[in-house]
Structure 1
């Protein structure tokens, strides 16, 4: 593994782990939030995380790394660079994940799907479904942080650099809301309710 990457210490040092009152992309509320963009804004930190993720998958053949926009773009690129393969990203168009900008996967290509943080795994699973529909073969899924608590339903091997559980609540049962603590919506997905 990379000399710079050292798990939760790296996440704290780079300001990834935030404390407060947050609305997660799922709509649930939490006292903690992980913003991997704080890590990935620094090229050396991004390179180290990508190298560490690549190390988790060096025992399998990978032709292309694909990440969901926006959170997975940089870490997918850095992982692909460390593996010496192409990198693509999928993005939403009219609510559906798609490959645009001339990107393509080809039948039989071996794809590694990479995300920054996996909570429910929804975005990266959409990428997996997309590339499989196009005839590629998904050989693994990886992320910097696994916040799922083991609650993903991935059909493919999944590995993360760090597993970190963040307690969350339905909005109506949130103790921070009951206390009147102001809420932040830091995620990149559009929220429909707070």
Structure 2
């Protein structure tokens, strides 16, 4: 699958938005990737996530873990393509935890799946959680890496697409200076 094919799928689904956005990281941007708009189309989600899974097809993966809520469908579809379990971590008191009877055993080979990475904090929390159970992290699979190369991990980090979307510290944001209303689409 080429970058242009992925961009076409994102555009067809309306997942690339233009406006004034506050990202989960706290940074502002004039562009936003709303994964949910892609993931609402199961056929498109399957296509993109199967492409992600192909990048790890030669690894023996016991489970795919994703942080709730954004990574849930990504993790499910990547796990389906790899033929393994899909589990997710819930947020509780600002931390990620395993609930719902999910388990990770020492030595389990785990792939972390997420929809988008900007700074990588949620992915790192997911890695740390899985490692706290003795898991071996095989890698990270995300639909969109919008970190501009700033998100660094100690395991392979693969994305379907790298987007260099501008981000601004709120104090330096040109849209704020122009008085544009801000949208917080990450949790809508």
Structure 1 partner of 2:148: 149
Structure having the higher helix fraction is 2
Shift >3 Å, 4+ stretches: none
Q: Residue in 2 aligned with 1:89?
A: 88
Residue 41 of structure 1 pairs with residue 40 of structure 2:
yes
Residues 6 and 48 in structure 2, CA contact (< 8 A), matched pair in contact too: no
Distance 1:152 1:87 in 2: 24
Displacement after TM superposition at 1:188 (Å): 2.3
Return 33-42 or 52-61, whichever deviates more: 52-61
Aligned pair 1:54/2:53, yes or no?
yes
Alpha-carbon distance in structure 2 between the residues aligned to 1:120 and 1:28: 10
CA distance in 2, matches of 1:150, 1:64: 26
Instruction: For structure 1, list consecutive stretches of 5 or more residues without a partner in the other structure.
Output: 190-194
Q: Is 1:78 matched up with 2:77? A: yes
- Unaligned 5+ segments in structure 2 are none
Task: Give me the whole-angstrom Cα distance separating, in 1, the residues matched to 2:28 and 2:130.
Answer: 32
2:67–2:123 CA contact under 8 A, matched in 1: yes
Matches of 1:132 and 1:104, distance apart in 2: 12
CA apart distance, 1:173: 1.2
TM, length-normalised to structure 1: 0.93
2: CA distance between counterparts of 1:61 and 1:95? 31
Q: Distance in 2 between matches of 1:47 and 1:68?
A: 18
Structure 2 contact 53–82 (Cα < 8 Å) conserved: yes
**How many residues are paired up?**
187
Q: Aligned pair 1:6/2:12, yes or no?
A: no
Distance 2:137 2:43 in 1: 28
TM-superposed CA distance for 1:153, in Å, is 2.1
Partner of residue 63, structure 1: 62
C-alpha distance after superposition, 1:100-152 (max 9, x if no partner): 00000111110000000011111111111011110111011110000011111
- Map of 2:185 onto structure 1: 186
Q: Which residue of 2 aligns with 1:105?
A: 104
- Which residue pairs with 2:22 in the alignment? 23
In 1, distance between residues paired with 2:130 and 2:169? 33
